[in-house]
Every structure is written in C-alpha cells, then in structure tokens.
C-alpha cells in the first residue's frame, strides 16, 4: 500500500499545508487539538474538498485539484472509524456490520465476517442495538463495519478519545490484533502519545497545520527534536524487546538485543515480541557502571547527540545496540558530567517506570 497526501487547505482562518506518504501498517497522525488532523483524514475520505493538492492511494488518484479529479467518498474505498462511532441507530449490531459489506466490491464473505466478529469480540452483541452498547463496544462495531466494506485503507479519527481509561485499555488490544492481522493499512489520528507509541509503525507529527516530523515511529519518537511537539513529560523512545524468561517472583526478563530489562507485570509468553515505551524523564545517565543501586535495569549505551532546549533541560539521545533511547536531564548535569556524543555510559531505568499500558504486544512467539 502506498498513500500519498499533498494538501493545502484553509478554513476559518486556519491554514493546513501537509505532505506525507505512508506505507503498510499503522501510520499515526499525531498533533494537538486544532493542528489539522481531522481535516487531513476528512480530505482523504473525500468528506471535505481541499483547496489544492493531490491524494493518491496505491497509484489511484482520489483527488487532484489541478486535474479536476475529486472522487466521491463512496468510490474511494476507504473505511472510516469516526470518533463518535456513527452507528446506525435503527439497525442492530449485525445490521450495522453488514451495511459495510452491502456495498463492498466482492460478494459478502461469511467467513470474513465471522473472522472480523471473532477478532473484535462481537459475537455476543450481534442482536443488540447501538443505543444499548458501551462506548468501547460501539467503536468495535464501527471498526467491524468499516473492515467489512473491504477498504483499501482504514482511517481512524481519535477512535479512543471519547472513552475513559479502562475502556481504552479494553480496545487497544483489538487494535493491536488488527495491526497484527495486517490485512488493511491504517491511518490513525490521535493526540495521545501513549496510543501512538503503542500502535504506530509510521509517525507523522502535525503542528498548526504543518508536518514537522514524518518517519518510522521508533525513529521519530527517539529523536530529541520531537520533545517540543510531544511534551517533555510524554516524550520517550519505544523499544521492541523479546520476552526471554519469566521469574518466580513475578518479574520477567526482556531482551533488547544489547542488554536485558527486568520488568513486572509481563504476561506474554516467552518468545513474544513486545513494544515498550521508556519515558525520557524516567532515564538516568551514569558514567560508571553503578553499584549498590536498587534498579535492576542498567543498560550500556552510547551518547548519540544532545539537544539543548530553551529551559534548563537537555534531551540526550542514546544508542542501545540497534535501538535508540531518549533521556531528559538537566543542562547542569550534562555539563558537570561532560556528556558529549560518542561517550559510552550507562542508562538506568526503574522497572516500575514502565507502566502497564506502555507494554504493547507486537507479535506472537
């Protein structure tokens, strides 16, 4: 799959100028409210008509202002999961789901329906009305409905934004399962770094209508330059690790390929690939291998670069084998330790600072 988006659009005194390309997997479009995320996905879906630009999907031109091409939404073959669900209130869950299949190009495939129903855990809900569903259930139905329309691309506009914490945790595993199934590429709009860090393969950061970063999620989130966009509290690299061993005391050993981490609360079987998020503010840097320290997570790293911001903080990019980590320390500490690119040192991470919700499953053993 290849999606290419070049857009210029102005509305209500707001100017959007965005260009990015995305490939298979989940492309997250991240940015604060009002940065133009929804405008972009609405333009991709054909629900709004951009002033200028071009959108192509797998070589098919969906929109080209200069050439006068503007396919209506029904001809774009793009599924859309809206923030507010938009289920049809007069149909039960089965009716809603089959509405998606009704206009699909290939005949309705019962096996695929059963698969999607199974994947999204909808079996017990089929005869229920949308009015009686929880927010999380509604979004799962909306997702199934979009999937069964056999789209070439799936757009998800903050599908979790209207849900509270526990409901989000209820849906995220389904989204991960969907990514794992990899039948349809997804453009996922969110203003939550945690969601993006957990789901995105590819990340586009949007700020006031402009694309400020565009690249593989691990690379972008490990880049100290993104701190101003994601916020110092939320900044942090993602690491893909493998479950190596479960210990009797409830801790598990995870291999990064360049040193091991010991974390509690990991239930995935040995051999599973996990994606964990390490917040920049939860990393300490030591020049010497520390002794007499309570942390079990000390990794050998090399400093790649330092970024001084306007405040007293410094963002330090660290290399760990083939991974990158991000630490945020004070400028004074950086000066006193004489931190510089190329310096070998140690990154210390308290096990408890990897919250449960930052542990996402990438693939089975």
Partner 1 sequence: MTLRPEEWAALTLSLQVSLVAVLLSLPLAIWVAWLLARKEFVGKSMLSALVHLPLVLPPVVTGYLLLVAFGRSGPAGRFLEDTFGLVLAFRWTGAALAAAIMGFPLMVRAIRLAIEAIDPKLEEAASTLGAGRMAGFRLVTLPLIVPGILAGTVLGFAKAMGEFGATITFVANIPGQTQTLPSAIYAFLQVPGGESSAMRLVVLSIIVAIGAVLISEWLARRVAERIGRG
CA distances from residue 232 to 145, 192, 312, 329 in whole angstroms, order as listed: 38, 13, 12, 11
Tokens 């079990």 locate to 296
Among 11, 103, 231, 271, binds partner 1 (CB under 8 A): 103
Q: Which of residues 166-225 bind partner 1 (CB under 8 A)?
A: none
Give the nearest distance from C-beta 32 to partner 1 in angstroms. Answer: 23
Considering beta carbons, is residue 147 or 261 the nearer one to partner 1? 147
Give the nearest distance from C-beta 151 to partner 1 in angstroms. Answer: 9
Give the nearest distance from C-beta 50 to partner 1 in angstroms. Answer: 17
Considering beta carbons, is residue 68 or 72 the nearer one to partner 1? 72
- Please answer whether residues 147 and 116 qualify as being in contact, where contact means their C-beta atoms are separated by less than 8 angstroms: yes
Give the nearest distance from C-beta 131 to partner 1 in angstroms. Answer: 5
Residues 90 and 95: their CA atoms lie apart, in Å, by 9
Give the nearest distance from C-beta 87 to partner 1 in angstroms. Answer: 8
- Please answer whether residues 226 and 220 qualify as being in contact, where contact means their C-beta atoms are separated by less than 8 angstroms: yes
Which residue stretch of 12-20, 32-40, 68-76, 261-269 sits at the interface with partner 1 (rule: CB under 8 A)? Answer: 68-76
Q: Which of residues 5-64 bind partner 1 (CB under 8 A)?
A: 45-47
Among 13, 59, 89, 165, binds partner 1 (CB under 8 A): 89
Element containing residue 64 per DSSP (H, E): strand 60-64
Give the nearest distance from C-beta 122 to partner 1 in angstroms. Answer: 17
Determine the Cα angle at 254 with ends 251 and 260, to 5°.
Answer: 105
Residues 336 and 331: their CA atoms lie apart, in Å, by 9
Residues 181 and 271: their CA atoms lie apart, in Å, by 19
Determine the Cα angle at 38 with ends 32 and 39, to 5°.
Answer: 115
Number of residues that bind partner 1 (CB under 8 A): 29
Give the nearest distance from C-beta 38 to partner 1 in angstroms. Answer: 12
**CA end-to-end span of the chain:** 26
- Please answer whether residues 41 and 225 qualify as being in contact, where contact means their C-beta atoms are separated by less than 8 angstroms: no
Considering beta carbons, is residue 144 or 283 the nearer one to partner 1? 144
Q: Which two three-digit tokens encode residue 237?
A: 């690299």
When asked if residue 134 is in the footprint of partner 1 (CB under 8 A), the reply is no
Among 6, 145, 179, 323, binds partner 1 (CB under 8 A): 145
When asked if residue 165 is in the footprint of partner 1 (CB under 8 A), the reply is no
Q: How many CB atoms lie within 10 A of CB 5?
A: 26
Residues 116 and 334: their CA atoms lie apart, in Å, by 51
Considering beta carbons, is residue 14 or 103 the nearer one to partner 1? 103
Considering beta carbons, is residue 1 or 104 the nearer one to partner 1? 104
Q: Which residues bind partner 1 (CB under 8 A)?
A: 45-47, 72-74, 76-80, 82, 84, 86, 88-90, 92, 99-100, 102-104, 129-131, 145-146, 149
């Amino acid at each position: 799959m290849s999606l290419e988006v070049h857009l210029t659009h102005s509305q209500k005194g707001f100017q959007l100028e965005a260009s990015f390309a995305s490939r298979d997997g989940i492309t997250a479009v991240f940015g604060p409210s009002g940065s133009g995320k929804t405008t972009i996905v609405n333009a991709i879906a054909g629900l709004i008509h951009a002033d200028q630009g071009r959108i192509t999907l797998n070589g098919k031109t969906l929109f080209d202002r200069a050439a006068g091409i503007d396919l209506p939404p029904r001809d774009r073959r793009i599924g859309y999961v809206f923030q507010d669900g938009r289920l049809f209130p007069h149909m039960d869950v089965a009716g809603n789901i089959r509405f998606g299949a009704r206009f699909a190009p290939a005949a309705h495939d019962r096996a695929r329906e059963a698969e999607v129903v199974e994947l999204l855990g909808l079996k017990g809900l089929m005869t229920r009305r949308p009015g009686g569903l929880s927010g999380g259930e509604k979004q799962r139905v909306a997702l199934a409905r979009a999937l069964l329309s056999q789209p070439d691309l799936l757009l998800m506009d903050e599908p979790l934004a209207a849900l509270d914490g526990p409901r989000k945790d209820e849906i995220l595993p389904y989204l991960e399962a969907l990514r794992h199934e990899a039948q349809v590429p997804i453009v996922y709009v969110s203003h939550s770094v945690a969601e993006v860090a957990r789901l995105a393969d590819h990340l586009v950061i949007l700020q006031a209508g402009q694309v400020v970063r565009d690249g593989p999620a691990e690379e972008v989130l490990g880049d100290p330059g993104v701190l101003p966009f994601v916020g110092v509290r939320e900044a942090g690299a993602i690491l893909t690790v493998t479950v190596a061993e479960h210990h009797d005391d409830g801790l598990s050993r995870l291999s990064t390929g360049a040193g091991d981490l010991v974390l509690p609360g990991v239930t995935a079987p040995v051999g599973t690939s996990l994606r964990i998020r390490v917040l920049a503010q939860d990393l300490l840097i030591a020049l010497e291998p520390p002794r007499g320290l309570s942390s079990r997570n000390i990794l050998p790293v090399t400093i790649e670069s330092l970024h001084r911001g306007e405040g007293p903080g410094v963002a330090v990019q660290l290399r760990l084998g083939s991974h990158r980590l991000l630490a945020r320390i004070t400028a004074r500490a950086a000066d006193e330790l004489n931190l510089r690119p190329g310096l070998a040192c140690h990154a210390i991470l308290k096990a408890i600072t990897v919250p449960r919700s930052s542990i996402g499953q990438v693939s089975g053993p």
